[in-house]
Structure 1
Amino acid sequence: MTEATFELEKIIGQSLQSAFIDQTRYSSEIHRPQLIVNGEGKQVLPSLLEELINCKAFYISVAFITEGGLSMLKTALLDLDKKGIRGRILTSTYLGFNNPKVFKELLKLRNVDVRLTSISGFHAKGYVFKKENYISLLVGSSNLTETAMKKNYEWNIKFTSLENGELVQSFNNQYEKLWDEAVELSTSWIHKYEEVYNLQLQQKNQMKSFDMSCNQNDREILPNKMQSKALEQIEALRKKGAKRGLIVSATGTGKTFLSAFEVRNVQPEKLLFIVHREQILKKAQQDFKDILGGEDSEYGILSGTSKEIKARYLFATIQSLSKDETLNSFAKEHFDYIIVDEVHRAGASSYTKTIDYFTPDFILGMTATPERTDDFSVYKLFDYNIAYEIRLQEALEEDMLCPFHYFGVTDYEIDGKMIDEGTTIQDLVKDERVNHIINKLEYYGYSGDVLRGLVFCSSKKEARELAISFEERGIASASLTGEDSQAEREIQIGRLENGEISYIFTVDIFNEGIDIPKVNQIIMLRQTQSSIIFIQQLGRGLRKHKSKEYVAIIDFIGNYKNNYLIPIALSGDQTLNKDNTKKNTAETNYIKGISVVNFEEIAKQRIFESIKNTNLSSMKNLRDAYKNLESKVGRKPSLLDFMKYDSVDPQVIIDSKKTYPLFLEAIKEPTISPKNYANEVLFMLSMELLNGKRIHEIVLLKALINNETLTQKKFVDRLRSMGEKHDVATIKSVERFLNYSFFVSNDYKKYGNQPLVNLIDGEYQLNDHFKRLLVEESFKTEVLNVIEVAVMKNQKYDRTPLTIHEKYSRKDICRLLNWENDESGTINGYRLKHKTLPIFITYHKDEELTSSVHYADELLTPELLKWYTKSQRTLDSKEVKNIIDAEAQNVDLHVFIKKEGAEGTDFFYLGTGLIDKNTVIQELVTNNDNKTLPIVTMNIKLKNMVEDSIYHYLKIN
């Protein structure tokens, strides 16, 4: 038995003991048996993907497979194929569940062998992954379906075993026996199965049709959960006397139906429904008829081709309605109720003129994207009355939209160079790229029997030429641009809906205002210009339809500067915080419902590169965010408003301009900027406390600012009641921080040259100068805003000094570990203090550094870190001995890591670690001057697993 195998056997043994004998015993989280359900704790899909992407081979046994379930693994399987890693899938035809199309999809997997077992009642569900030295298994209730992967309540046990384990051997024997007896999946087999399947399906449908005892058309259409809530809030607005209200609702969530339900409730004498395109009118009119009923004569259309203006319910295009002769033909009070669809367009003069003209009892505006890049405020137009708001993530969670499977795929490389902004049209439409596109589209596929795709291109010429190229390859396609007439658009849309063509290639004109529910594939062949447009285009496929279970979004990611917008758009995260954006690229579990987001490995690298090279917090981005928030709240936003309304992370604003008043000055917004000492105090609070990393100082300051008398004893009692640490060292640390004795001299001067809080006769007191400043209301408001942001930010931190996987600067660490002073400038080494010893690691070191400091620190697993000391350190060096003997000396070894030096001052906290003494080795390295220097390497066992998003982010090149 090798040493590695012996060590692994010990680790697995410990894991089994903690799982089956005593849960308090320490064991490796990776190898510890886990119950995996969808809900609290780990979901099935990410657990499965984590095992899959790190395996050397895999063996899957499932009775049921759906297209959606299989598509969730396709990106990972493709990346494994590129590494030469193969696997098997054993499945069946049990109960006729598996659609013939899913078998066709299985045949596309080049690195997966598939066989069909004929064993009666086959219902096995197991996933086996072969690793370097062990086997990982996930066995339980989950078939390979999208609901089992993300939605259903499942019970699965995940555990690890050495290859000689009895359970693993039993599983292997069973699998091999079934595999040998099973039939290989082939095209001819699928043809035979399809005949039987279709016959059985036909019989089922006949029975289903026979059993239906009521006519669907006779059933009353009722509002869904979201619509019911929205109707209540609109009614509440009207009862308050409001004349206008705004509905912000993701594309596909039924805004038109919602407005029809509202009209059914209100029963206006005359209704006006305004749209910007004629093709929307008839659909909207029909939706209202379905819900309101009534005679056809009650419904009319006002457009370029119809003038049915006497109707009770009038559906009008803004182009026709806003003409002076048409508008003036109506009395101002003619309509009781007006609904404006896609109201984010209302900044145009045609809209403002029309809305200002009429005086109805109520105007309802509806939009999916109220945010604007100009200075027009949709919110202001509707008196800041947001009746209801539901964004993409919430709509997915409420199952109001068709789920989407997003695939971020790698675009074509031309002579080793990936497609980018400078790529010529000749290269964009060359045969090799067209073939690359078609291969990706065929691999990732679509849901349903008939392909209906929208392709968003970068230019009119690209759209036209790609459509021609697809046609030449036998894929029926058309192109539509702004140059095509409305009639031509309707013809081609009809052809797509009827299945006469598979694709429409377009540029921008389908971003909004188009409703093709049958669309089951969205292809993006252009760089992402804005997160708003990205969501608009993705939204073209989110309408539910019985012909599809999900829509495939296939995004070709080249080497574009704006790639960073992709995770921002998908997550809806508007913080402009780079850490959040990186995390939302590496870990995509934020997508709700059974939707999924997957990036091919190279595509993911392109996004990380874009994030790295982009200044997310540019003054333009910050000013745009400020203006959007201002238009939403109807006043000058406070720093706290950015937090309340899920806008820019206030920390990003402070990092850019030190204080909020200075930020307002920078974007040329009127403000009263604190001067001299007031500015210095605000500077200190913003830079040091706004991050909320420790609540103690915040609690104390807030109490004193609100004129509470707070003794040291009362402060300790309050912390105790809050469940916060209140030991002597922590209290002293808080006091040293607020009396500034913690800070270095430069900070002491920058922050006002005098203690902010003094402890006098056991009572905490603000300094007199600070107390006098707080009389000025504007200054006090700014201070309290910083404190309230800090309170909100503190919610993500544990009640321990340091929270696993959060980020900290060296100064933060000195403070939170209760060191007397800020020693951040001198703890690049390994400083032992108060039984704490922090280690700082830059994972990818700058290539320009000399070889004497360029060592290959490596996360071997999420729990094991191979680490190198600085050069010129030996086993006899005092600081190395301190590290090796940390556990024996009862010293806490704290491990901090960042990906590279350019990431700034903050490090991810990986928790405490233990040195594996069996791995401690002294080596020699040669520096750039050819001098041989000693160095020590060792493995650090982390007590906590590195979370998936950080682990993959650090590991990716």
Structure 2
Amino acid sequence: MNQQQLIQKIENSLYKGFIDQNKPVSSQFKPKLLTNKHHESVLSTLLQELKTCKTFYFSVAFITEGGLATLKTMLYDLKQKGIKGRILTSTFLNFNQPKMFKELLKLDNVEVRLTGEKGFHAKGYIFEHKNYYSLIVGSSNLTDSALKANYEWNVFLTSMENGEIINHFKNQFENAWDVAIPLTEEWIADYKQIHELQPFVKSASLNALELDTKYLTNSLSDALSIKPNKMQSVALDQLKELRATGAKKGLIISATGTGKTYLSAFDVRNFAPQKMLFIVHREQILKKAMQDYRKILGGYDDDFGILSGNSKNVNAKYLFATIQTVSKDNYLQQFAKDQFDYILIDEVHKAGADSYLKVINYFTPKFLLGMTATPERTDNFNIYELFDYNIAYEIRLQAALEEDMLCPFHYFGVLDYEKDGELINEAAELRKLVSEERVRHIIEKINYYGYSGDRVKGLMFCSQKDETYELSAALNLAGLKTIALTGDSSQEEREVAIRKLETGELQYILTVDIFNEGIDIPFLNQIVMLRQTQSSIIFIQQLGRGLRIHDSKEFVTIIDFIGNYKNNYLIPIALSGDQSMNKDNVRRKTVNTDYISGVSTINFEEIAKKRIFDAINNTNLSTMKILKDAYTEVKNRLGKIPSLNNFIEQNSLDPEVIIGYSDNYYNFLLKMKEDIPTLNDYEQSVLTMVSKEFLNGKRIHEIILIESLLEDEYLPKADYIQKLRDFGTYVDEETIKSVETIFSLQFFVQNDIKKYGFKPIIEIDNRNYKFNEEVQESIRDSNFRRYIEDIIKCAYIKNEKYDKAKALTLYEKYSRRDACRLLNWPHDDSSTIYGYRAKYNTCPIFVTYHKKDEIETSQAYGDEFISPELFRWFTRNRLTLDSNEVKTILSYKESGMKIYLFTKKDDGEGSDFYYLGEVDIAEDSARNELMPDGKGKELPVVTMNLVLEQPVQYDIYHYLVEE
């Protein structure tokens, strides 16, 4: 947009912000309040402004390592683009830590100075863009809590370069900057001495700052008696309720680090057994569990005993046993079958092994409790069945973070070492994995992204044994203190290494195959992943090693080296917990990571993010194996054949993925080898139509009609219209007619008509709707009816994300065929739309933003965003301003024609496009131009600028435009 247009938009935005809130203006520049509530954090806005700025100036009194960590990936990406900035900060109240200042020195593209201004308490962020400035000013310092979690008040403003306000802030900054001193290593050394002599006083004055309550509570925790946390209290109540039903078994599913051991000890205290047996798979865990139980249960030392390879205290009231020992006949037979009132099994996902089943089948306790963070299995053993499908309590990673039960984490997806355009991949030779260049690259990244605490205490997960040993040796030669541990390492070697890591004799343990689970190292402050992600389960297990809360750290740094791996698509799946296998969901979870709660953040370097998108595009997420594994997991959990709706309830497969694979759920169950009642061919055709056309919930009108006819044989048209109004959706004659053409099959092409059974499933008789006779007969059968009702439930849930008042919802995805139906076209003309089609007084435009390199030159249109609200669009070639087709489009206002813009990043996204809204054509923007035909000649084409009703949402905009 030109300068005058920009000025007009900012003027309008200021009018809305300061004179009349009802003035309709672009949301890009309007003043707003940032509070960290309602899905718009200070951090997200700050990152958005950084991403598009030419330079930036921060004036902040307080900075924490966690706050700095939230920006490190963005600042690295800006460095790659040559973008620099300045930060002005202070030593006010000695709050800023010496180590934080060292972290600031790592930022090569950021100049830092320290003001000597007494009482410096400023909090402002200035961003210089191409033609304007933006400003965030208010209560947020550069701390992770202030940027993402605390309830803050910050004003966001936009200004032209000559605006008085922005110049006032800039002048204040420059004046303070000119007399401030540069940050240097020498200054930090001096400050460290002063800081240690005059520590920051933790007093009631903290209430004036945005510090977390942990600063006040940590020192008190040891003096307080141990009480159940919020999660444990809820779980204990549910265990009590479960036993009240007569249940003798229960399963606890709880994320690593949420206190499963304490929870079980509290429950044992409530249960008060005469004798208890606690079973684990490793002696190291056993000793720690016994210590925790002593804290909760109290009593005499003789009450607690261990049964393992090194200890045989079988007479203890509370016996802690390794499965390897207790499962041996000579020990198992020593106990009566009812010897223990209460038996607990930790890491119970291993209980499918013969040793566990042998013990479980031998004993007859009054109650058996299983505990795990990851009940999912790939060997088809049903853990849920083993516990009579009694899930007493479940809390996964996302919920645990929301409840502040885990240590916050900052995840950084970084690009692995690349040489001559070749990235580390699954087949990389050992020499590449341990080359001097890769070692240097690893050290640069782990130093840049850092850690919380006085010294690094890290765990590196490698891809193979040889790499583990040789990489450890190479890192040691480079000056680090590391050790390699594998499955060949003894228990004693592991314990010694962990002690050395805690005391500082080691900085890193490098490992493969071990430490994924069943190990408690709460002081870990950095996790480094140097291998491809094999499964989302293992990914979360490894990330979870650092999530235990410990006094020595405020957060844990996760550094994931992303190579050219086929499984990169698993990273957003694992981090988000989204198991839908819906590619669009996975892409969105990569682009927008706001789903992570609290102060935790997920950050991808831009190039690393592209590797994930490549993997998503190149991977089939609906293979038989993926679908069958997910199906088996849900079936095992429920103990029955699941419905489509059950997959939604269990946060598993997206039903649309299932339907895309098999047309209808009946076919899918047959492919899963289920023995189910037979449907005839026509019933399958009807089921396919209802599944493929309506389950997605993009238009609820058809679903409401089907649901109504399940209740009554006839539905008057007037009653149908009233039902739509009661639901709150839009109603007009064109949409009603469109619904009728769908059910009459008149809308569909011949192939679909054949697939859907050749005849209308709903007929109109004297302004009454009714199912045809065959469908009426079929729905009397409860089996067929259940399939239809299941689809209806799913469609209502799916419809919740769509705007009830409009046919199309911003930023949702639609195919050309969807557009034909939702814009009420009488026929499916999607095969003739190509890039666009002006028809029935509508003109949907479909743009693939990044064309394939091999596309013909004559088809390589230069469609592009000029700004988030302005799109330069090309018509088909061989057209001019005098062409009838172009005249029709340009006269859209006179004819009342609506123009809609749909865009996708590339062909790897499939057939669906993001809906970006209704557009206007910028006045006087249409031009005759020429484009090469690839044969040395030029073809005429018309270009014009499309003005969007709203600027494209930040995350989607950058996803679309970036290479």
Range into which the TM-score falls when normalised by the shorter chain = over 0.9
1:59 aligned counterpart, secondary structure: strand
> Aligned pair 1:166/2:171, yes or no?
no
* Superposed CA offset, 1:112-141 (max 9, x none): 000000111111111111111111111111
Which string of whole-angstrom CA distances, capped at 9 and with x for unpartnered residues, describes residues 712-743 of structure 1? 11111111112112222222222222222222
Aligned counterparts of 1:314 and 1:715: Cα–Cα separation in 2: 67
- Measure, in 1, the Cα distance between the counterparts of 2:152 and 2:615: 38
List per-residue Cα deviations over 1:839-869 (Å, max 9, x = no partner): 1111112222222221121123222212111
Whether 1:860 aligns to 2:861 is no
Secondary structure, aligned partner of 1:821 = coil
Report the 3-state secondary structure (helix = DSSP H, G, I; strand = E; otherwise coil) of the residue aligned with 1:114: strand
| Corresponding position of 2:736 | 731
* Residues 1:678 and 2:667 aligned together: no
The correspondence for 1:101, drawn from 94, 99, 102, is 99
Q: Indicate if the aligned counterparts of 2:94 and 2:199 stay in contact, CA closer than 8 A.
A: no
Q: Does 1:511 align with 2:516?
A: yes
- The answer for the alignment partner of 1:427 in structure 2 is 432
Contact 1:274 1:315 in 2 (8 A): yes
Alpha-carbon shift at residue 215 of structure 1 (Å): 8.3
Amino acid at match of 1:909: Y
Choose the corresponding residue for 1:65, options 51, 63, 70: 63
Q: Distance in 2 between matches of 1:630 and 1:727?
A: 43
Tell me the amino acid that sits aligned with residue 279 of structure 2. I
| CA deviations over 1:645-681 (Å, ceiling 9, x no partner) | 1110010111111111222233333334523211111
The one-letter amino acid of 1:848's match is E
Picking from 425, 437, 445, the partner of 1:440 is: 445
The corresponding residue for 1:177 is 175
How far, CA to CA, are the matches of 2:107 and 2:510 in structure 1? Answer: 27
Give SS of 1:95's match: helix
AA aligned opposite 1:87 = G
Secondary structure at the aligned position of 1:201 is classed as coil
Instruction: Say if 2:407 and 2:548, in contact at 8 Å, map to a contact too.
Output: yes
Question: Post-superposition shift, 1:421?
Answer: 1.1
Residue 784 of structure 1 aligns with an amino acid whose one-letter code is E
Query: Residues 864, 272 of structure 1: CA spacing in aligned structure 2 closer, same or farther, 3 A cutoff?
Result: same
Residue 936 of structure 2 corresponds to residue 930 of structure 1: yes
Query: How many angstroms apart in 1 are the aligned matches of 2:301 and 2:272?
Result: 17
* Alignment partners' CA distance in 2, 1:698 and 1:237: 38
TM-score normalised by the chain length of structure 1: 0.97
- Give 1:416 deviation, angstroms: 2.8
| Amino acid in structure 1 at the alignment position of 2:121 | H
Matched, 1:475 2:473: no
**AA at the equivalent of 2:577:** G
Counting only pairs closer than 5 Å after superposition, residues 754-833 of structure 1 correspond to structure 2 as 754-799=759-804, 800-828=806-834, 830-833=836-839
CA separation in 1, counterparts of 2:467 and 2:591?
A: 31
Equivalent of 1:893 in 899, 910, 915: 899
Deviation readout 1:771-811 (Å, 9 max, x if unpaired): 11222222221122122211111111111111111111222
SS in 2 for 1:331: coil
- Which residue of the partner structure matches residue 20 of structure 2? 22
2:302 aligns with 297
Contact 2:410 2:555 in 1 (8 A): yes
Could you tell me how far apart the structure 1 residues matched to 2:850 and 2:404 are? 42
1:132 is aligned to: 130
Matched, 1:911 2:909: no
The answer to which of 8-17 and 360-369 deviates more is: 8-17
| Separation of aligned partners in 1, 2:542 and 2:902 | 41
Q: Equivalents in 1 of 2:253, 2:355: separation in Å?
A: 22
- Mapped to 2, the partners of 1:294 and 1:879 lie a distance apart of 88
- For the residue of structure 2 that corresponds to 1:157, the secondary structure is strand
Distance 2:147 2:218 in 1: 35
Whether the 8 Å CA contact 1:220–1:291 is kept in 2: the answer is no
Compute the displacement of 1:561 (Å): 0.8
Paired AA for residue 749 in structure 1: K
Aligned residues: CA RMSD: 1.8
1:397-444 deviations in whole A, cap 9, x for unaligned?
100000010000111113331111121101111111111100100000
The residue that corresponds to 2:36 in the other structure is 38
In 2, Cα distance between the equivalents of 1:17 and 1:553? 45
Aligned 1:248-263 pairs, distance under 5 A:
248-263=253-268
How far apart, in 1, do the equivalents of 2:721 and 2:116 lie?
A: 70
**Aligned letter for 1:767?**
N
1-structure distance, mates of 2:759, 2:816: 24
Q: Give CA-to-partner distance per residue, 1:561-583, whole Å, 9 cap, x none.
A: 11111111000000001101111
Query: Which residue type is aligned with residue 746 of structure 1?
Result: N
Q: Does the CA contact (< 8 Å) of 2:30 and 2:157 recur in 1?
A: yes
Structure 1 residue aligned with 2:841: 835
How far apart, CA to CA, are the structure 1 residues paired with 2:606 and 2:453?
A: 28
- Whether 1:222 and 2:227 are equivalent positions in the alignment is yes
Amino acid at match of 2:58: I
Q: State the percentage of identical aligned residues.
A: 56
Q: Does 1:392 find its partner at 2:390?
A: no
Change (3 A) 1:40 1:214: closer
* 2:624 is equivalent to residue 619 of structure 1: yes
Aligned equivalent of 1:948: 954
Aligned length: 952
2:190 is the counterpart of 1:192: yes
Tell me how far apart the structure 2 counterparts of residues 521 and 511 of structure 1 sit (CA, whole Å). 15
Instruction: Confirm or deny that 1:344 pairs with 2:342.
Output: no
The question of whether the paired residues in 2 share the 8 Å contact of 1:661 and 1:672 is answered with no
C-alpha displacement of 1:827: 2.4
Kindly indicate whether the alpha-carbon contact (under 8 Å) linking 1:456 and 1:524 is maintained by their aligned counterparts in 2: yes
Structure 2, gaps ≥5 residues long: 207-215
The one-letter code of the counterpart of 1:283 is: K
Q: Which runs of 5+ in 1 are unaligned?
A: none
Contact 2:279-2:323 within 8 A present in 1 as well: yes
Q: Which moved more, 1:376-385 or 1:715-724?
A: 715-724
Distance 1:134 1:253 in 2: 47
Letter in structure 2 aligned against 1:145 = T
Do the aligned partners of 2:277 and 2:318 also contact (CA within 8 Å) in 1? yes
Partners of 2:925 and 2:16 in 1: CA distance: 25
Contact kept in structure 1, 2:501 and 2:508, CA below 8 Å: yes
Partner of 2:473: helix, strand, or coil? helix
Alpha-carbon offset, residue 759 of structure 1: 1.6
Separation of aligned partners in 1, 2:128 and 2:629: 50
Structure 1 segments of 4+ aligned residues over 4 angstroms from their partners: 202-205, 211-218
1:835 is aligned with what amino acid?
N
